[in-house]
Chain A
């Protein structure tokens, strides 16, 4: 285990020790990649978005406030990044082709056929949710972030996060069972 916290490393990066971006990249790139993957269902786009998040950290390093959790900061950058991406590419996710290829690759031999089919259906239902709902589901469920952590990222109360998550789950459930 590395003894330095994210925040301590980020302070060094802020002071122009750019090489220390590598340990931060090591700690977060898989998480972020999966975050974007669940939002975009596209591997290449997800890789670009991850790359861009780290690019922005370097560019905006001077604006980092050490009293702020690095984790919250990086997710905020990730969200903004995703929002910009949507603005630029107004294509929505009607194309299930991509969802298909993604879920096929996420299969493991250990999973039952039934579970695979259910996962497939769930991703399709996810793709039909509005962005904000999909995003909060990804953070809360797929990324395992706590309500408190999400509240820092979204800059709202824990109670509000909970309500949003619950609404999103409920809507996902509706879409999922309507499809099936």
Chain B
């Protein structure tokens, strides 16, 4: 009997839980333009081939709290949770801005973004968790302090910078449209590029080391090599778009994508 009761509790918990997950979604139409995501601590961004943005989360947010039932989180910036999932979502023209309303949300948001939409993410707090970005071919701008940044199946153009986090990126190809710049003050930077990538490289680490298994043609300027232990300029496969990887304290790893 006791056993049955325990199972029932677990079952009802699972019911409530899965039920709330299915309810934790927000969708809005967008086919091109820009999406800005501000101060949302844990995010996974994925590109998809649809003409809408879909935000989902496992967080049950204020529904969690009996006392807050029927109320919505608001904050000093005048932002209101108009999405029902703890985010203020604002669309002006073809620009969407997403702000976090509640300060201490711990659950992860997954945001699916149409493939032609430019993405900008910033997080200036020290609560930022790992930022995951997958399958994105459009331009990316990321400015964070504590978050680490993990990129998978990306192509650039992109500018990524973090103070304390590391940056890991696996490129499926490298866009020749405009430059790629990955910068960290303290974290390591680990980048895998396809072997046939055409690029001009600027790698630097003031206090760390630079490692690579790629065939780098070192830069010649007026017949002179430009290389030092902490700064490497060169090119891959005859040169192409600029790729800058730089960390003040972390190591730089540049590897061939397997």
Interface, chain A (partner B; CB < 8 A)? 1-4, 9, 12, 17, 19-20, 22-23
Indicate if the CB atoms of B222 and A19 lie closer than 8 Å.
yes
Scan B225-238; emit 1 where CB is below 8 A from any A CB, else 0. 11110000000000
Chain A interface mostly: helix
Chain B interface mostly: strand
Indicate if the CB atoms of A20 and B223 lie closer than 8 Å.
yes
Indicate if the CB atoms of A20 and B222 lie closer than 8 Å.
yes
Q: Which of B222, B226, B227 contacts A22 (CB 8 A)?
A: B222
B71 cross-chain contacts in A, Cβ below 8 A: none
**Nearest residue in B to A19 (C-beta to C-beta)?**
B222
Interface, chain B (partner A; CB < 8 A)? 222-228
Indicate if the CB atoms of B222 and A1 lie closer than 8 Å.
no
Shortest Cβ distance from residue B233 to the other chain A in the assembled complex, whole angstroms: 12
Shortest Cβ distance from residue A117 to the other chain B in the assembled complex, whole angstroms: 40
Number of A-B contacts (CB under 8 A): 20
Q: Of A2, A20, A23, which is in contact with the most chain B CB atoms at under 10 Å from its CB?
A: A2
A17 cross-chain contacts in B, Cβ below 8 A: 223
* Cα distance, A19 to B224, chains bound together (Å): 12
Instruction: Enumerate the 8 nearest inter-chain pairs by beta-carbon distance, A residue then B residue, closest first.
Output: A3-B225, A2-B224, A1-B228, A4-B224, A20-B222, A23-B224, A23-B222, A19-B222
What would 4 more interface pairs be, CB under 8 Å, given A1-B227, A4-B225?
A3-B225, A12-B223, A22-B222, A23-B224
A9 cross-chain contacts in B, Cβ below 8 A: 224
Indicate if the CB atoms of A3 and B227 lie closer than 8 Å.
yes
B224 cross-chain contacts in A, Cβ below 8 A: 2-4, 9, 23
Shortest Cβ distance from residue B61 to the other chain A in the assembled complex, whole angstroms: 57
B222 cross-chain contacts in A, Cβ below 8 A: 19-20, 22-23
A20 cross-chain contacts in B, Cβ below 8 A: 222-223
**Nearest residue in B to A2 (C-beta to C-beta)?**
B224
Shortest Cβ distance from residue B86 to the other chain A in the assembled complex, whole angstroms: 53
Shortest Cβ distance from residue A165 to the other chain B in the assembled complex, whole angstroms: 35
A4 cross-chain contacts in B, Cβ below 8 A: 223-225
Q: Of B222, B227, B228, which is in contact with the most chain A CB atoms at under 10 Å from its CB?
A: B222
* Cα distance, A9 to B222, chains bound together (Å): 10
Shortest Cβ distance from residue B221 to the other chain A in the assembled complex, whole angstroms: 9
